Amino acid sequence: MVKTVMTFGDSNTYGTPPAQARGENRRFDPDVRWPGVMAGALGPDWQVIEEALPGRTTSLADPVMGVHMDGHLGLRIALESHGPIDVLTIMLGTNDAQTHHGQTADQIVAGLAGLLAIARSEPYQLRHGGFDILLIAPPPILEQGTYRDTLMGAAEKSGMFASLMAGLASHWGADFLDAGALVGSSPIDGLHLSAQDHAVLGQAVAQKLLDP
């Protein structure tokens, strides 16, 4: 029986390469971005649904990009658009740390708690016949490069993600993976993963799903 995993995230799940300039609209090829790498490692007994939106936050509208960046809204749409799924991965929080959102690390993790509450709610669990959740802490942000002006204070906040998100996952009975222990944000723009890091992360997530 084929299992289905849905990867819910932002530009680092979408596969946006490190940006040399603002306004770039590039994407790594399917076999380069981490969900594709994961799919290859999982093999034919799994299928992967990529649900990723550059700019997506845990629970906030973006003043420039729009209200649809709210992950709470996005997750509801994704869970009603696809299925049934067996596993949901969530890797979010990076965009919430941008200066203009004014969020503390605790507030960002509270947004993730809302996502877990949605995913664990009875209507969605019943809709999909039950599914597991893997919460992935994104790597810490670097306050340098292309997006430096939007990242004041983001390094300190994102440096707290792993410990806070690990505690949240434990509380909700979700699996947890610290991406920052494996990969790092590019110094080119302070936010995005290189192709090499996508390969590492994809293999790690696959291993986590195969041997939780």
Model confidence at 160, pLDDT cuts 50, 70, 90, reads very high
- Beta-strand ranges (E) seen in the chain are 3-9, 46-52, 87-91, 132-137, 175-178
At residue 54, what is the residue type?
P
Supply the pLDDT for residue 207. Answer: 98
Q: How many angstroms separate the most distant Cα atoms in the chain? A: 48
Supply the pLDDT for residue 84. Answer: 97
* Three-state SS at 204: helix
* Per-residue pLDDT tens digits for 101-110: 999 999 999 9
Supply the pLDDT for residue 140. Answer: 97
pLDDT surpassing 80 at residue 212: no
Model confidence at 23, pLDDT cuts 50, 70, 90, reads confident
pTM (two decimals): 0.97
> Domain spanning 3-210: which superfamily?
SGNH hydrolase (3.40.50.1110)
